[in-house]
Every structure is written in structure tokens, then in C-alpha cells.
Amino acid sequence: MTQDTTVVVGDRFTEFLSTRGTISASELSERLRAGEVAPGTVIVAGQGIPAAQREELDLLAGPAGADVRFAGSGAPTAGRWLTHKHVEKNEMITAPERAGENRFVAALLVDAHADTLEDHLTGHHIPGIALTEAARQTWTAVTERFFLGETSPKVRFVLGSFSSTFHRYVFPLPATVEYTLLDRTQNAMEQVFCCRVAVRQNDAVAAEIDAEYRVIDERISARQEAMAARAAVSAELARHAREGADAVAP
């Protein structure tokens, strides 16, 4: 490699990898093994690199004398409890940290095989649908970690409203997600949160997602949902009964 600094991203970002100064994770691994990376080379690890491959790059870089700088300072993803995702590759953020009274920050950490990217990855950028899922994980993680805590009863998150604005492309480079609490109300049944999640890259806001969501005791939410499901089935059966009666009417 002739460059002193390069950006490594996941193999699936093929169009982005046509950009000068980038290299795929697999190619970098091969070059590290072959001793083709000059000592002191700075490697900026971007997005799309699976956890196992990140670990491999870290292990190979040390003997080669290269400096790998991972997004989120190499921190792991936030985990199942905070993100409400059951498969690690689908976790898209690091554990959020407090950055102010009502402000919290996490690093974006996208695996290119995550469920929001597995079937749709075109162009140079990270799709907007993936960023909205990262925002959902962020408000869930912040709420679980800072407003509820591990000792709280099990709850369910119910989305009330959602809007998004995309100002510029987000590329598979280091980025952060920043949660700002706008409003919080509470009664005996639920808590209601209003927030804004901003995706920042290269010191600029690339996307903003506003949401209102309710946090409800799991037992109460389950009863409410079951009642709503029964009502929906009854309404559907009644509709078909009416249509059947109209069909046979003289």
C-alpha cells in the first residue's frame, strides 16, 4: 500500500469502494497477512465490517505496525437489552453515553449484513431505512439505560408518530447518533417521550428523525393489544358477513 492513511469498509459497499482512498476489509486482511502494509499506516475503519472481521483486522494490524482506528473507539454494539434486537449483526449502535442534561450520544456501528441492509444496498451510501432503524435503536437504548434502568418492570415501546429529514448522504464512514429529549410526560399507565435523533458525519448533521413513543408496562400493553386484536378480527368477520349477505340479497 502506498498511502499512509486509508479507509476500510465492509466488502458489500462495492460502489463506495470505487472511491480513492478506500479498501475492502477482505483485501486489507490479505495485505496485512502478506506484509504489504507499511508500519505506521493509519487505517480508519468505517461501516459495514462484521464484528468477527473487525477483531481479525485488529489482531493482524498489531504485528504489522499499523494503527487501526475503529468507529466508536472499538467499542462493541449496545447489546440485546438496549437495542431490542436478538441477533448481534442487527445491532447498529454502541451503548449511548450522556452528553448533557437531555442529550445522549452513541456511535453508529453498521454491519453490512444487518437485516435493514441484507436485501437492499445500492449506491455509495447507507440507505435511509437503515438510519431510521439506528434511530429507533438509539431512542430505545437511551430510554432503557437512562430513564428506566435494569431494575424496571418489563415494558413495551409503542410508536405514536415518526418523521424523518435527510439533509445529505451518510456514507460508510464513522458517524454518531445523538438523542435529544424534547418532552416527557407520565401517568399511571404509561410514559410518553418526544425526541429527536440526529445522525452526524464529518461534523455535519446528515439526518434528523423525530419521534413520539409510549413506554407501557408489558402486562398492560399485552392486554391492550389482545383486546385490539379481538376487535379487529370481529370487525373483519362482520365485514365479510355483510358482503355475503349483500351477495345473496335479491
Question: What's the number of domains the chain is made of?
Answer: 2
- What pLDDT, on the 0 to 100 scale, is given for residue 206? 98
Grid cell, residue 5, equals 492513511
Same domain, 193 and 107: yes
SS3 of 64, please? helix
Same domain, 34 and 103: no
- What pLDDT, on the 0 to 100 scale, is given for residue 153? 81
- What pLDDT, on the 0 to 100 scale, is given for residue 201? 97
Residue 226 lies in a domain: no
Which candidate, 80, 86, 88, places its Cα nearest to that of 110?
88
Same domain, 141 and 209: yes
CATH number, residue 197: 3.10.129.10
Residue 33 lies in a domain: yes
Same domain, 115 and 70: no
- Strand 42-45 to 67-70 pairing: parallel
Grid cell, residue 67, equals 494503527
- What pLDDT, on the 0 to 100 scale, is given for residue 2? 45
Same domain, 103 and 169: yes
Same domain, 115 and 58: no
In sequence order, what are the beta bridge partners of 201?
204
Residue 198 lies in a domain: yes
Residue 87 lies in a domain: no
Same domain, 104 and 69: no
Three-point CA angle 27, 91, 136, nearest 5°: 130
Same domain, 70 and 101: no
Stretches in the chain below the pLDDT threshold 70: 1-3, 72, 151, 245-250
Three-point CA angle 127, 159, 120, nearest 5°: 20
Residue 119 lies in a domain: yes
In sequence order, what are the beta bridge partners of 31?
none
What's the domain range around 54?
5-74
Q: For residues 192 and 102, what is the distance between their CA atoms, to the nearest angstrom?
A: 15
